Structure 1
C-alpha cells in the first residue's frame, strides 16, 4: 500500500467529494541545491478559506509518494471548504442557514456538536450561531488542519508543519533531534512575541481578524491578541477566539482555568503591549514569563 493509499484510507470518501472543487492547481515550492540536502520532503502552498496554507513535510519519502500525498492533503482542505464555508452558496453551512436539505455527512454532525460543546465550556463566549446565523469558521479552520495533520501522520509523513496564517500545527522533527521553531507573531504588527519550540503542538493566535461578541453580535476589540497552544489545533483556535471575545479580565481567568487542566497554555497581549502568560507556556519557550498578578 502506498503512502497515498494510506492517506486515502484515513479520509474515506473525502477525495471523491473534493474532485468537484475549482481551486487552482497546486504549485510545489522548488528546493534550491543549497537546501535540498538538508531538506528531505516537500513543501506546497494553496489557499484555504481565504488564506494561504503551507504544508511542509520533512519525512524523507520518495517523490512518487510525496506528490500524491500533497494532492490528497489539499483535496481534503478543498472538501472541508466546500462543505463548511459560509461564503460558498452551496456549502452545507449555507444550506443550513437557508433551511435547505443537508447531506448526511458525519463530519458536519461532528463539527456542529463540538461547537455546541465549546459554547457550553466557554460560557457562551465561543458560539457558532450568532443572531440566528451558523458559522463554525472559528473552529472548523483549526479542526480541518488538525484532521489533516493526523492523516499525514498515519500516512507515514510524521515530520511536518502546517501553517495557515496565525494557526500552525507541527509534528515530529524539523531535522533529526531538532524541535520545530514556530514564531508567534503579533497579528497586527507582525512583531515576534515568542518562539515556540515543539515536536507535537497546535498553536493558534486570535486578533488578526474580526471577532464578534456572541452575546451581542458586536465586534470586540478589547485585547491585542490571544495565543493558545495545546494538543488539538481546532480546540486551541476556538479557545483563542473565545478569550479574545471575553476581554482581559475574563480571558485571564479562563486561561488559568484551562491551564489548570494541564493541556492548553495561553499568551495574552494587552493593547498596551503587556504580555500575560500561563506558567506552562514557558515550557515551550526560551523566554520566561508568568501571568502577572
Structure 2
C-alpha cells in the first residue's frame, strides 16, 4: 500500500490527549511550525474557554469580572445561543446562570483547526480529541480515513466510519445535564453525530444525549431529514438507533464487536 509522508504529534490539552496527524507531503520545515501553531491554538482555546480555569474568560464572565475583548468569545456564545434555539433548548450553554460551552467548544476548536490546516496546504489530516474526530482529505492516496466509533463507557468499537471530509462527535463519556432540571441524564448510553461541521455535530450529540432515548430518536430523525447530520443513539441496554444516512459512511466492515 502506498502511504503518505507527513507527521503526527500528540499533546495533553487540559489533561486530554489530542493528536494531529498530517498526511500531506510537505517538507519538515513546514510541518513542524504547522503542528506548533496547531497546539498553540488548542492551548489558547483551553485557557480562554475552560470554566474550571479561574482566570479563563468564561470563568471571569461567570463571576462578573472584567473580560478581554475576544472576538472568538462573542462568536462562540452567539453560536451556542443559535444551537440552543435549534434544539429547543436541549443544547444549552447557560444552566442555572452559569455559562459553560463545553458541549460545543471542543468540536468548534477542532473544526477551526482543520480549516486552518487546509488553508495552510495540509489538506490531508485527522485531528482527534477524546471521542471527537475531524478528518479531511485522504489517509493514503485515494483512501478514506477509517474511524472507529467507540462506546465511551465500555471502550469498544461499535461502528467504523469511512470518510474523506467529516466531523464525528460522540457524547456520553462525561456527564451531560438535562438543561431543564440541571440533573445528569442517564437514559442513553452514548450518542454519535456525523456532519460537515464538528462543532455543530458536538452540540447536536450533547442535545440528543440530554433528550433521552425517545425524544432523541425523534429529533435525530427530523435532523437527518432536514440536512447533513446523521446520528447513532445507543441505549443503556446496547440497542442501536441510526438515521438512514449513517450507514452511507460505513464500509464492508462497518460494525465491530469489540
Note the alpha carbon deviations across 1:261-283, whole angstroms, 9 max, x for none.
Answer: 12100001011111110000010
Q: What pairs up with 1:62-81 in 2 under 5 angstroms? A: 62-81=27-46
Note the alpha carbon deviations across 1:246-271, whole angstroms, 9 max, x for none.
Answer: 00111001101110112100001011
Indicate the structure whose relative CO is greater, using CA pairs within 8 Å and at least 6 residues apart.
2
Whether the 8 Å contact between 1:161 and 1:170 is mirrored in structure 2 is: yes
The match for 2:140 among 170, 175, 180 is: 175
Task: Give the superposition deviation at 1:213.
Answer: 0.7
- Normalised to the residue count of structure 2, the TM-score between the two structures is 0.96
* Pair member with larger Rg: 1
Partner of 2:250: 285
Whether the 8 Å contact between 1:282 and 1:288 is mirrored in structure 2 is: no
The match for 2:5 among 9, 18, 40 is: 40
State whether structure 2 residue 175 is matched by structure 1 residue 210. yes
Give the 3-state SS of the residue equivalent to 1:188 in structure 2. coil
Structure 2: how far apart are the matches of 1:212 and 1:175? 40
Which runs of no fewer than 5 residues in structure 1 stay unpaired? 1-34
Q: What pairs up with 1:106-185 in 2 under 5 angstroms? A: 106-185=71-150
Which runs of no fewer than 5 residues in structure 2 stay unpaired? none
Partner of 2:58: 93
Whether the 8 Å contact between 1:194 and 1:287 is mirrored in structure 2 is: no
Whether the 8 Å contact between 2:193 and 2:205 is mirrored in structure 1 is: yes
Aligned pairs, how many? 254
Structure 2: how far apart are the matches of 1:71 and 1:46? 11
The match for 1:246 among 204, 211, 230 is: 211
Partner of 1:257: 222
- Normalised to the residue count of structure 1, the TM-score between the two structures is 0.84
The RMSD of aligned alpha carbons is 1.5
Whether the 8 Å contact between 1:223 and 1:248 is mirrored in structure 2 is: yes
Structure 1: how far apart are the matches of 2:181 and 2:202? 21
Note the alpha carbon deviations across 1:204-255, whole angstroms, 9 max, x for none.
Answer: 0111111111111111110011000000000101100110010011100110
The match for 1:195 among 157, 160, 182 is: 160
Worse-superposed segment, 37-46 or 213-222:
37-46
